[in-house]
């Protein structure tokens, strides 16, 4: 149920396009209106989410410290894992955002022989995660070709690197296939690792099916079921120049691809995919660990009821006198 529901959701989305484009001939809706609407939802949605988080303050300085603190001058501080400066925090965040440093720590804890715990290095999740995200990024960057008249400077470099295997015509880009493989791994581990399967929600499978759908239709179009690239570019250029056109000769496959991408963009801000923005806002990672050196203010700090020394002495004055502990006021004789 948790798996089938999102799977059939994606199938339904695909059938919807086929019906809409091949049947009802609603090319303008699927080629122009929906992509615009999706992009709009994406931008507004992400801004909404991030500003909503930003409105909640960080009342306390609570980094998770993962290394030696700054203290005595002869003790070497771990400036990245327990930063005390903005530069250190930027370094720490960069490691996490760009290299998935925290996930790289991953290890598998296991009870062996029913008597001892073993913690073995386990980098597969890190590897699949980082490969998935970077290939996705490269694939996205390659698509810039469809949205500019002149090729951006990096495109040539990217494509040379991406296609260095020099296999086939058109040249095989590795990233598309690797993206698909990484997404498949992330999906399979949700099926096959019992604990991960137990915690997975439909919302975990849905984006994976969606992305697998997007990558598959993309690969199909590029290598197998040839698509009229010139016509596609006409359409995409029409979108970026706000002069939308629907050229003839674009097959349903392209519209499926475009619709799944639109679905992903529209879904993004309302799902766990906002972790892309959230990671920058995570207080356990983006704060400095030197909270004894610099005062951190809590904007909603409010007065509370306390038990003062005077009240304390009032209760215990006689006992304190008996025990020769100094008091503020002499007891009343």
Residue-by-residue DSSP string for 167-200: -TTTTPPHHHHHHHHHHHHHHHHHHHSHHHHHH-
Task: Provide, rounded to whole angstroms, the least separation between the CB of residue 279 and another protein.
Answer: 5
Task: Provide, rounded to whole angstroms, the least separation between the CB of residue 10 and another protein.
Answer: 14
Task: Provide, rounded to whole angstroms, the least separation between the CB of residue 5 and another protein.
Answer: 6
Please report whether residue 329 would count as binding another protein according to CB under 8 A: no
Q: How far apart are CA 37 and CA 193, in angstroms?
A: 37
171's tokens: 């040249």
Q: Which residue(s) pair with 109 in the sheet?
A: 119
By beta-carbon proximity to another protein, the closer residue of 105 and 226 is 105
CB atoms within 10 A of CB 241: 11
Q: Residue 110 in 3-state DSSP?
A: strand
CB 253 within 8 A of CB 220: yes
With CB under 8 A as the rule, give the number of residues binding another protein. 101
Please report whether residue 66 would count as binding another protein according to CB under 8 A: yes
For another protein, the binding residues in 5-64 under the rule CB under 8 A are 5, 49, 52-62, 64
Please report whether residue 216 would count as binding another protein according to CB under 8 A: no
316's tokens: 């215990």
For another protein, the binding residues in 151-210 under the rule CB under 8 A are 193-204
Give the binding range for another protein (CB under 8 A) out of 22-30, 161-169, 222-230, 293-301: 293-301
Please report whether residue 115 would count as binding another protein according to CB under 8 A: yes
The set of residues, in sequence order, having a beta carbon less than 8 Å from that of 283 and lying 6+ positions away, is 58, 62, 63
CB 63 within 8 A of CB 287: yes
Which position among 12, 25, 51, 72 is part of the footprint of another protein (CB under 8 A)? Answer: 72
Please report whether residue 292 would count as binding another protein according to CB under 8 A: yes
φ, ψ of residue 111 in degrees (nearest 5):
-90, 115
CB 35 within 8 A of CB 262: yes
| 308 to 327: interface string for another protein, x by CB under 8 A | xx--xx-xx--xx-xx-xxx
By beta-carbon proximity to another protein, the closer residue of 243 and 323 is 323
For another protein, the binding residues in 218-277 under the rule CB under 8 A are 270-272, 274-275
């Amino acid at each position: 149920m948790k798996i089938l529901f999102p799977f059939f959701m994606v199938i339904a989305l695909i059938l919807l396009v086929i019906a809409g484009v091949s049947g009802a001939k609603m090319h303008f809706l699927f080629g122009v209106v929906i992509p615009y609407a999706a992009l709009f939802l994406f931008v507004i949605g992400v801004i909404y989410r991030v500003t909503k988080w930003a409105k909640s303050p960080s009342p306390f300085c609570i980094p998770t410290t993962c290394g030696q603190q700054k203290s005595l001058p002869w003790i070497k501080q771990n400036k990245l894992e327990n930063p005390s400066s903005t530069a250190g925090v930027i370094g720490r965040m960069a490691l996490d955002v760009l290299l998935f440093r925290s996930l790289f720590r991953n290890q598998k804890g296991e009870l062996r022989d029913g008597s001892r715990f073993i913690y073995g290095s386990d980098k597969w999740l890190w590897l699949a995660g980082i490969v998935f995200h970077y290939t996705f990024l490269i694939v996205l960057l390659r698509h810039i070709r469809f949205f500019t008249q002149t090729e951006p400077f990096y495109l040539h470099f990217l494509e040379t690197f991406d296609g260095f295997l020099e296999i086939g015509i058109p040249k095989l880009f590795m990233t598309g296939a690797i993206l698909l493989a990484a997404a498949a791994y992330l999906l399979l581990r949700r099926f096959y690792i019992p604990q991960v399967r137990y915690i997975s929600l439909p919302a975990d499978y849905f984006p994976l099916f969606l992305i697998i759908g997007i990558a598959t239709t993309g690969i199909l179009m590029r290598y197998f079921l040839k698509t009229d690239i010139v016509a596609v570019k006409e359409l995409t250029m029409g979108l970026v120049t706000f002069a939308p056109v629907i050229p003839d000769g674009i097959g349903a496959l392209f519209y499926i691809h475009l619709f799944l991408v639109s679905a992903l963009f529209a879904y993004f801000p309302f799902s766990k995919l906002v972790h892309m923005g959230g990671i920058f806002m995570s207080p356990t990672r983006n704060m400095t660990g030197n909270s004894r050196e610099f005062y951190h203010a809590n904007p909603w700090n409010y007065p509370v009821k306390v038990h003062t020394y005077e009240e304390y002495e009032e209760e215990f004055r006689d006992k304190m006198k008996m025990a020769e502990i100094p008091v503020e006021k002499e007891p009343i004789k």
